[in-house]
Amino acid sequence: MLFSSDGIQYEHSATYHFHEPALPEDQLTSERQRQRRARILDAAVTVAAAGGYDRVHVRDIADLAKVSLATLYHYFPSKVHVLVWALDRELMRFDDDLAHRLAQIQDPFARLRIVVWRLVKAMEHSDRVTEAMTHAYVASSMVASAEAEMIRVQTSKMFAHLMSDGAVDELHRNTADVLTDVWTSEILALVQGRRTFDEVHRRLHTVIDLIARANEPRCEHGETSLRPPPSRRTTP
């Protein structure tokens, strides 16, 4: 077993390759391969739902997906990779599912508050799967750096897309980047037991309120970014 400085425990085996990226779907050449990859992700979620991160074992995922261990490792170098890619898929599904529900809401920050509330509630509802996926996301910063960056980018894109009403601008992108950084920090605190789901929601909501308040005067004058106000020269 391998341990990081923060006490998080990672699975180790002879076939475990640090920082080796998983095989993305767009590199698969047949529908059969895509279906096999999807089965592995489905199996990972099912196994995670039964007991959380510590109960997820690569062999169990392979058995449930009806593939060999060698085949699973061809697609995903470790259980961290499998769970992080499952998280990426869940974020995309969440984005698709929620987008049409926000169509009547014009205020971008009101949309974002709903997004955060729904996201935290969804995570809490499937707490074992959430624990496994978020634990893997934290672990990915050490053993699957490409996947860690993928989740950061996907989360930021999701926030920006759901905050906007079709056209993502600089305000949406900058707000999403800030919120993603806070979300990542809160996920680490959640995994380490330093936060509850309610606390994560309150802190994210506070960040949204602060950003919205900071942007009100500039938005009124046509500015749509989180840039600091221009410096003012004072005459001696």
Number of helical H runs and strand E runs in the chain:
9, 2
Q: Is residue 213 one of the residues assigned to a domain?
A: yes
Give 145-175 as a DSSP string.
HHHHHHHHHHHHHHHHHHHSSS---HHHHHH
pLDDT of the residue at 167: 87
Closest Cα partner for 127 from 200, 43, 22, 40?
200
Q: Is residue 203 one of the residues assigned to a domain?
A: yes
pLDDT of the residue at 69: 94
Q: Is residue 8 one of the residues assigned to a domain?
A: no
193: phi > 0 → left, psi -120 to 50 → alpha, else beta; which? left
pLDDT of the residue at 23: 66
Residue 226 DSSP one-character state: -
Q: Is residue 43 one of the residues assigned to a domain?
A: no
pLDDT of the residue at 236: 39
d(CA 109, CA 14): 48
pLDDT of the residue at 199: 97
Q: Is residue 195 one of the residues assigned to a domain?
A: yes
pLDDT of the residue at 21: 63
pLDDT of the residue at 228: 44
Q: Is residue 119 one of the residues assigned to a domain?
A: yes
**Mean of the per-residue pLDDT values for the chain?**
83
Q: Which helix (H) or strand (E) holds 198?
A: helix 197-220
Of the chain, the end-to-end C-alpha distance in Å amounts to: 65
pLDDT of the residue at 20: 63
Low-confidence ranges of the chain (pLDDT < 50): 1-18, 219-225, 227-236
- Domain extent, residue 135, equals 79-219
- Count the helix, strand and coil residues of the chain and give each as a percent rounded to the nearest 5: 70, 0, 30
Cβ atoms < 10 Å from Cβ of 91: 18
Distance (Å) of CA 128 to CA 46, 115, 124, 162, 210: 10, 21, 9, 26, 31
Could you read off the pLDDT of 101-126 as tens digits, one per residue?
Answer: 898 899 999 999 999 999 999 999 98
CATH number (domain holding residue 191): 1.10.357.10
Structural domain tally of the chain? 1
Q: Is residue 148 one of the residues assigned to a domain?
A: yes
